[in-house]
Amino acid sequence: MANGKFVTYLRVSTQKQGTSGLGLEAQREAVTGYLNGGAWTLLGEFVEIETGKGSNALEKRPQLRAALALAKKEGATLLIAKLDRLARNVHFVTGLMETGVDFKAADMPHADKVMIQMYAVMAEWERDQISTRTKAALAAAKARGVALGKAGRANLISVHAAQSEKADAFAQRLAGVLAGFKVRGLTQRAMVEELNAIGVRTPRGGAWSLVQVQRALARQ
């Protein structure tokens, strides 16, 4: 149950999404669900439409700067729908923490600063892995004599984006199981053992490892 003063921050990464509202309504629903009940005051909503790429992402986000300024001035908590709406960048997340403003992610309401930093590390690693796989696919195609223009590169990137969406969908289907594990107080290693024991397979049909469980938890 939420209590206190809040400033909400919503972000989409393309002008098209911002114009259509795609993604923004889902984020609003998430923060509204977090605030449901309790004694809270919403001081303002800030919406950002940008790419957020680079280690100086905060400088590229005037709405985030404004949201942080208001939260700091009023002693409020910055509330976002999902941690990855801020950045998949450890340096950026650490810098955000150093502003002194408390912030919460609706999808990780009980996460402390250590857990948030761990999530950022995992998210950044996954982002780098996607980039590495894309470059490897491009190099392999070039070695086979395939002429790759902008369209070819876009197709490969689209494939990896689709794979990421499938992983997100799988993690959501598994959400109920993982939530039950949390209620039982299972550690992440115990979750690995339980998933393998009951015969639940990973998205690729293999056995679970600790890293895979951590990724599934981070995607929810």
Cα–Cα–Cα angle for 113, 119, 123, rounded to 5 degrees = 145
Give me the amino acid identity at 127: R
pLDDT at 150 over 80: no
For 45-64, what is each residue's pLDDT tens digit?
Answer: 999 886 555 555 667 788 98
pLDDT at residue number 168: 64
Give me the amino acid identity at 192: V
Query: Nearest CA to 41 among 75, 81, 16, 4?
Result: 4
pLDDT at residue number 119: 64
Domains identified in the chain and CATH numbers:
4-111 (3.40.50.1390), 115-219 (no CATH)
Residue 133's SS3 state is helix
d(CA 122, CA 127): 9
Cβ contacts of residue 18 below 8 Å, gap of 6+? 12, 24, 47, 49
Beta strands in 51-131, from DSSP E residues, in sequence order: 77-80, 103-105
Q: Which residue has the tokens 């004599």?
A: 145
d(CA 192, CA 209): 6
Nearest 5°: phi and psi at 187? Answer: -75, 170
Q: Which two tokens stand for residue 176?
A: 């109920």
Q: Tell me the mean pLDDT in the region 136-163.
A: 60
pLDDT at residue number 36: 84
d(CA 80, CA 23): 13
Q: Which two tokens stand for residue 54?
A: 């680079």
pLDDT at 42 over 90: yes
Contact yes or no for 44/70 (Cβ under 8 A)? yes
Q: Which two tokens stand for residue 76?
A: 């409020």
Q: Tell me the mean pLDDT in the region 108-124.
A: 69
pTM: 0.54
For 152-191, what is each residue's pLDDT tens digit?
Answer: 555 555 555 556 666 666 666 777 778 778 878 888 999 8
Which of residues 197 and 45 earns the better pLDDT score?
A: 45
Contact yes or no for 219/180 (Cβ under 8 A)? no
Residue 205's SS3 state is coil
